[in-house]
């Protein structure tokens, strides 16, 4: 089941993201910009060679708990993709 989040931005933050709507191939709205940022962040997590991985390491460090496998459940992807490691205890932060 999809999770829903609500994001509140002040006028300055909204205006800064609005700049990313410029250009012929740019997202059409700030909501689409945020969606594209989320998509790239997800790719940075599950694709080890993706350019987004370094971007995420700069922003969040590199202490991620990953293991081989496709987070979307596709078969035979253990050597291509990584997924979040399944928790073995309650040491993970609660959401």
Q: Write b or e for each residue in 47-85: b if 16 or more Cβ atoms lie within 10 A of its Cβ, otherwise e.
A: eeeeebbeebeeeeeeeeeeeebeeeeeeebeeebbbee
- The closest of 42, 40, 35, 43 to 17, measured between CA atoms, is 35
The Cα–Cα gap between 17 and 40 comes to 15
pTM: 0.80
Structure tokens at 80: 């291509």
Kindly report, residue by residue over 45-90, the tens digit of the pLDDT. Answer: 999 999 999 999 999 998 888 999 999 999 998 889 999 887 665 5
pLDDT at position 56 is 93
The one-character DSSP state at 71 is T
Kindly report, residue by residue over 7-57, the tens digit of the pLDDT. Answer: 999 999 999 999 999 989 999 999 999 999 999 999 999 999 999 999 999
């Amino acid at each position: 089941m999809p999770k829903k989040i609500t994001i509140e931005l002040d006028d300055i933050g909204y205006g800064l993201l609005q700049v990313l709507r410029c250009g012929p191939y740019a997202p059409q709205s700030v909501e689409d910009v945020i969606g594209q940022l989320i998509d790239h962040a997800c790719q940075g997590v599950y694709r080890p060679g993706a350019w987004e991985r370094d971007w995420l390491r700069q922003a969040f460090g590199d202490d991620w708990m990953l293991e081989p496998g496709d987070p979307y459940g596709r078969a035979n992807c253990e050597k291509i993709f990584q997924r979040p490691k399944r928790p073995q205890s309650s040491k993970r932060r609660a959401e």
